Each structure stands twice: as C-alpha cells, then as structure tokens.
Amino acid sequence: MGRVFTDEACIEVRDLTMAYGSFVIQRDLTFTVKRGDIFIIMGGSGCGKSTLLRNMVGLRAPAGGHVLYGGVSFWDLGPDEKKAIMRRFGILYQSGALWSSMTLAENVALPLGEYTRLGQAEIRELVSFKLALVGLAGFEDFYPSQISGGMCKRAGIARAIALDPDILFFDEPSAGLDPISARRLDELIVELRDSLGATVVVVTHELPSIFAIGNNSVFLDAETGTMLAVGDPKKLLAESRDPKIRSFLTRGQS
Amino acid sequence: MDISFERAADHTVLIRLGGNWNISGGLASTDEFERGLQTEPLPAQILFDAGKLGDWDSSLLAFLAKLTNLCAQKSIPVVRQGLPEGVIRLLELAAAVPEKKDAHKDRQKSRFLTEVGEDVLFAGRSVGEMLAFIGEASLAFCKVIRGKARFRRSDLFLLIQECGVQALPIVSLISLLVGLILAFVGAIQLKMFGAQIYVADLVGIAMAREMGAMMTAIVMAGRTGAAFAAQLGTMEVNEEIDALKTLGISPMEFLVMPRMVALVLMLPLLCLYSNFMGILGGGLVGVGLLDISPIHYFQETKAALSLMQFVPGLIKAVVFGVMVALSGCLRGMQCKRSASAVGEAATSAVVTAIVAIIVSDAILTVIFDRIGI
C-alpha cells in the first residue's frame, strides 16, 4: 500500500468557538485537514488543544461554528448519524484510557465484537495481530495496571486501530514517554498513516514530534484566544514572523 | 541570621547580613525595616554587605524579595551588588516573569442573596441532571428487558458475585445483631406483662417487613453503592468513559445496567437471608435469656409469620436495590476529573442512597398500610 495523498478535504473546522460556560477559550477557528495529512494541533499549555480535540471527536458540543466531515456538519446530525461518523474514528487518549477491568486483548476485542460479525477465534487472531503491530505481542492477558505507561499508550493505539479507522486522533501521544519511546511512537504514527491510508490529527507540544511527523498544523494561542497560524510546521518555523509562533517553535530562543 | 541596618548621612541604608540563614530557623521579619521606612526622609538607596554571610537558603531569598517589594512600592532603588552571586541570579529569575495581577483568585465575599440564588440554581440543575439520569436509565432498562442492551455477560456475573456472595459475611453479622437488639428491646417491655413469648412475633414481623430490607440496603449502600461511584468516577477521570462514548457504546448500557441488574437481583435475596439471620438473633435472646424453648420460639415465629409478611420486605428490597444502584452510578458518572472528586462521588453516593432508601421506605410503608398488605 502506498501513500494516499489527495487534496480532498477530510475534516473542515469552520468558525469554531469553544467555551466553558461564559468563559471563551478559543474563537474563530477555521482550518482544513486533508486526507492523508498528519495534522498537528499545537500551542502552549491550557490554550484549549485537548478541548478542540474533544469538539472534533464528538465528546463536547462547540459553543458555535461547525466541524465538517466530508462536507457534513457533525454537530447538526442526529445521534445515529453521529455514531456512524464516530465509528470511522480511532482515538488515543492522553492516559491511554484502557478499560482497567479488562485485559489488553479484551480491550482491543471490544470494538471488534461490537461492530463486526467475526467469531471468537477470528477476533482473538486479529487482536494478537493488532497488539503485535504496536510491539505488544504476547501481552494479551495482561491488565493495564500490570504494564508500563508507554505500553499502555501503545495498547491504546492497538485499540484505536482495531476497526481500521479513517481518521486517527492522538491526544498528547508522547507526553510522559522517554525520548526513545516517543520517537518510536512517532514512527508508528507515520507508519499507520502510510499503511492504513488514515488521516491523523495529533495534539502535542513536543517540538521534535511536531517537526518529525507533522505536514500541516494549527497554532492556538491562549492569550488572544484564537489561532495564529495554519500550515506546515517546518514552513512556519522558516517563514513566520509572529513572535509567539517563533518563540514556541524555537523553545523561546528567538 | 544577623541583620543590621546602618543609615549614613546621605540617607543611604546599608544592610549587613551575617550568620547562617536556614529555613528551619524561621523567616526573618522585615518589621524593623518597615518601621525605618516610616520615618522621613526616605532612604536614598539600599546597599548590602554580605561579607559575614554563611550558608543561606530560601529564607534569605524570601526576606530579600519582600524587602525589594517594599522598596519598589516607595520607589527606592535597591543595589544588589553586595549580595552573593547566586542570590542575585535567583532574585532576577524570580522577577523575570512579572506577577500576573488578575491571576489571584477573587477572594471578595459574594453577597448573601447572590449565594442563595446561586445555590438554588445549582440545586435546580442537579435535580434536572438526576431526572435526566433516571430517564436514561429507564430507557436502558427497557432495552435490557428486550435483551437488546449491550454489556458483557462476564461483567454481570462478576458484579453479581461482588454484591451477592461477597456481601454475605457483613449482612450476616449486622442482621444477627439487629435481631438481637430488637429482641432485647422487646423483651424488657414484654416481660412486664409476662408475655415474653411475643418477642418471637416482634422480631419476626419487624425483620420480615422492615428491618431486613432496610439494614441490607444500608449495608449495600455503604459497601457497593460507594464502590460503584468510585469505580465509575475513576473511569471518568481516566477517560475510559470517553473511550466508550467515542466507540458508540452507551456507558449507561455498558456500565450502569449490569450494576443495576446485579443489585436488583441480589438485594431481595440478601434481604431474605437477612430476615432469617435476624430471627436467629432474636431466637438466641429468647432461648438464652427468656427461657423460651427453641421449639416453642420456632412455633411462635411460624404462627406469626405468614408468607404474606415477607412480601412488603421483598418489594422494598427491590426498590432499595434500584435506589442504591442509581445513586452510586449517578454520582460516579457526574464525577469531575480529579482524585478528590472520586472521593466526593463515593461519599455523595452513600448519602444520596441512604436518603433515598429512608424516603422511599416511608412512602412504601404508607402505601402498604393503605392497601393492607
């Protein structure tokens, strides 16, 4: 399977406003994620990156504006249509969010059991394969509490890709990982995009990841409460004149 | 920790710092310096001499930072040159990011009426949330009955084990003691009329109609209701509930329903068991203290308790099961995202459950009285 690069818009965010009660976190967010992109949502701590992600995956309704999937406004749909779109997502949560009462195999098997007609043995086989993909072969019968944080994240990815999703969302994938694990995770993300042909949206503020894997990005700013730039992070570093973006992308050195 | 202030003729103040500054010795007071600032004319500038300074830690830094702030308010220049280099660098670091004035929490007390109003709005919202939760739970329960709800059978069996078998020891103990207490209280009164034998009636009827169900429900509220709230709360903190939602799996069906079904099935059984344990406890008192023969006590109990006497208790047990499960799950699902919120959820689940148990018990007792069962 080769790279699937087309210009087709996969996710469009239009004039999105996010607020907690009357406190507006971000307003007027407008950007487009193309099919096959690894799209980075970046910005300092507390600028609303994770909240934006929650708006995009359907966990939290925005205060205003639209999130469009294939031209359809997600938040205007009925519950069943929403579910149909959400089935195309694979999400890795910040903490991994594995169901702690289930083994890794059961965690990965749950979405397969819910949405496919596969038998027990077939599911077991697929689960082993998905766990092997993320480097966790042989850990089927471990509980999340028995493995390390980095392994939990990878198991979370195995669960996220269980149903071969069209769009993968990653919330701070490398937070809390050592540099080598973080780099392996980056490589895994790129590999998944290339081989599954998925579109990837990553929330992160880890500069090495941003430059290594991102080919498009949006920069959120907490102070002005809106986005300051959209584009390839490498280009932003080379061309942007905005002092906030420059300072973020160079660790405050220029 | 030695400080001395010297004022020169040109109103320059020289502060001599000496000795060891250690945080375990407490912080140095700036009172003397502040008093010095009251007297006119103000110092022209502040100099330091740290020649005799020994070891120092944050106690020195805190003192200097406060002093610098005081001087800044009166716009007196502070010359840091005389201080050790490390101190200068740390003070500069502390001053590098200016204080965010609006970041301090507004400690202003809101007015009484505002607070009352806000509390009323909050209470209204939480009643709304509770009703919405009960509504959703009812819909999900209909799905369970039609066999369409999606949850793992293995979860259900684990929960049944957890809130059935594993609750037996504590239910035994509590019920036995409640039966014992009831018998004691009754015995003292009935002995006055020479009617000790009616202790058997009293204990039997009280356990079967009322105390069995109520005590079991309260034990389960503390034991299982709190556990439900803590489990679901931790899942919320850990984003596990989000992970279910984004997979299109309803947490109501997947998490709440097995818990509710398990409790509703197990509570009546536990209640029945508790009734027998209570009667046994009463029997111990009757036989041991009142000299009633075991057979006589058994006969009397049997005569007093028709099977109908157990019906109100069992109906109550089912209702209490719903109450305990609902309040545990409601508080768990409402949990905010922090460790302390999980504790609050567990506490609040027990309180809600016990209030719900007592209130519904009162209502049911009146209804049973009206319809005569």
Select from B162, B246, B253, B342 the residue whose CB has the most chain A CBs within 10 Å, as the one to mutate to test that interface.
B246
What pLDDT, on a 0 to 100 scale, did the predictor assign at position B108?
62
Q: Is residue B91 scored above 90 in pLDDT?
A: no
Tens digits of residue pLDDT in B93-152:
888 777 666 555 555 667 899 999 999 999 999 999 999 999 999 999 999 999 888 888
Tens digits of residue pLDDT in B267-280:
999 999 999 999 99
Q: Which amino acid is at B187?
A: A
Out of A154-163, A208-217, B30-39, B85-94, pick the least confident: B30-39
What pLDDT, on a 0 to 100 scale, did the predictor assign at position A95?
83
What pLDDT, on a 0 to 100 scale, did the predictor assign at position A254?
66
Question: Could you tell me the pLDDT band of residue A83, with boundaries at 50, 70 and 90?
Answer: confident
Number of neighbouring beta carbons within 10 Å of residue A17: 17
Closest Cα in chain B, distance from residue A130 (Å): 17
Domains of chain A by range and CATH?
A: 1-88+165-254 (3.40.50.300), 95-164 (no CATH)
Q: Which residue of B has its CA nearest to A112?
A: B247
Domains of chain B by range and CATH?
A: 2-99 (3.30.750.24), 122-371 (no CATH)
What pLDDT, on a 0 to 100 scale, did the predictor assign at position B318?
96
Question: Could you tell me the pLDDT band of residue B92, with boundaries at 50, 70 and 90?
Answer: confident
**A117 beta partners:** none
Rounded to an integer, what distance in angstroms lies between the CA atom of residue B221 and that of residue B226?
7
Average pLDDT estimate for B181-192: 92
pTM, two decimal places: 0.80
Number of neighbouring beta carbons within 10 Å of residue B97: 7
Average pLDDT estimate for B146-174: 92
Comparing A196 with B133, which gets the higher pLDDT?
Answer: B133
Q: Contact B246/A100, CB-based, under 8 Å?
A: no
The owner of tokens 């080598």 is: A180
Contacts of A87 in chain B (CB under 8 A): 247-248
Q: Is residue B30 scored above 60 in pLDDT?
A: yes
Comparing B82 with B124, which gets the higher pLDDT?
Answer: B124
By the 8 A CB rule, do A234 and A211 touch? yes
What pLDDT, on a 0 to 100 scale, did the predictor assign at position A4?
42
What pLDDT, on a 0 to 100 scale, did the predictor assign at position A185?
86
Rounded to an integer, what distance in angstroms lies between the CA atom of residue B235 and that of residue B228?
11
For residues A183, A186, A191 and A197, what is the CA-based torsion angle, rounded to 10 degrees?
180
Average pLDDT estimate for B325-348: 93
Question: Could you tell me the pLDDT band of residue B39, with boundaries at 50, 70 and 90?
Answer: confident
Cross-chain CB nearest to B240 (options A54, A58, A99):
A99
Nearest partner of A17 among A58, A46, A55, judged by Cα:
A55
Contacts of A89 in chain B (CB under 8 A): 246
Q: Is residue B90 scored above 50 in pLDDT?
A: yes
The owner of tokens 């109450």 is: B323
Average pLDDT estimate for B197-215: 94
Rounded to an integer, what distance in angstroms lies between the CA atom of residue B302 and that of residue B10?
105
CA distances, B342 to each of B122, B137, B238 (Å): 20, 21, 11
What pLDDT, on a 0 to 100 scale, did the predictor assign at position B204?
95
The angle formed by the CA atoms of residues B192, B197 and B200, to the nearest 5 degrees, is 120
Q: Which residue of A has its CA nearest to B242?
A: A59
Closest Cα in chain A, distance from residue B119 (Å): 17
Q: Is residue A7 scored above 60 in pLDDT?
A: no
Q: Is residue B1 scored above 80 in pLDDT?
A: no
For residues B136, B138, B139 and B144, what is the CA-based torsion angle, rounded to 10 degrees?
120
Question: Could you tell me the pLDDT band of residue A2, with boundaries at 50, 70 and 90?
Answer: very low
What pLDDT, on a 0 to 100 scale, did the predictor assign at position B73?
83
Average pLDDT estimate for B182-202: 92
What pLDDT, on a 0 to 100 scale, did the predictor assign at position A5?
44
Contacts of A78 in chain B (CB under 8 A): none
Closest Cα in chain B, distance from residue A170 (Å): 12
Closest Cα in chain A, distance from residue B337 (Å): 13
Residues 64-123 of B with CB under 8 A from A: none
Question: Could you tell me the pLDDT band of residue A243, with boundaries at 50, 70 and 90?
Answer: confident
Chain A touched by B247 (CB under 8 Å): yes
| HEC profile of chain A | CCCCCCCCEEEEEEEEEEEECCEEEEEEEEEEEECCCEEEEEECCCCCHHHHHHHHHCCCCCCEEEEEECCEEHHHCCHHHHHHHHCCEEEECCCCCCCCCCCHHHHHHHHHHHHCCCCHHHHHHHHHHHHHHCCCCCCCCCCHHHCCHHHHHHHHHHHHCCCCCCEEEEECCCCCCCHHHHHHHHHHHHHHHHHHCCEEEEECCCHHHHHHHCCEEEEEECCCCEEEEECCHHHHHHHCCCHHHHHHHCCCCC
Interface residue ranges in chain A relative to chain B, Cβ cutoff 8 Å: 54, 57-59, 83, 86-87, 89, 91, 93-95, 97-101, 110-111, 114-115, 159
Rounded to an integer, what distance in angstroms lies between the CA atom of residue B187 and that of residue B14?
87
Structure tokens belonging to residue A79 = 């519950």
Rounded to an integer, what distance in angstroms lies between the CA atom of residue A164 and that of residue A33?
19
Closest Cα in chain A, distance from residue B247 (Å): 6
The angle formed by the CA atoms of residues A112, A6 and A198, to the nearest 5 degrees, is 20
What pLDDT, on a 0 to 100 scale, did the predictor assign at position B107?
56
| H helix or E strand, kind and range, residue B46 | strand B45-53
What pLDDT, on a 0 to 100 scale, did the predictor assign at position B64?
87
What mean pLDDT, rounded, does chain A reach? 87
What pLDDT, on a 0 to 100 scale, did the predictor assign at position A156?
92
Q: Which residue of B has its CA nearest to A79?
A: B248
Question: Could you tell me the pLDDT band of residue A3, with boundaries at 50, 70 and 90?
Answer: very low
Judge residue A164's burial from the number of C-beta atoms within 10 Å of its C-beta, 0-12 exposed, 13-18 middle, 19 or more buried. Answer: exposed
What pLDDT, on a 0 to 100 scale, did the predictor assign at position B104?
56
Q: Is residue B360 scored above 50 in pLDDT?
A: yes
Chain A touched by B188 (CB under 8 Å): no
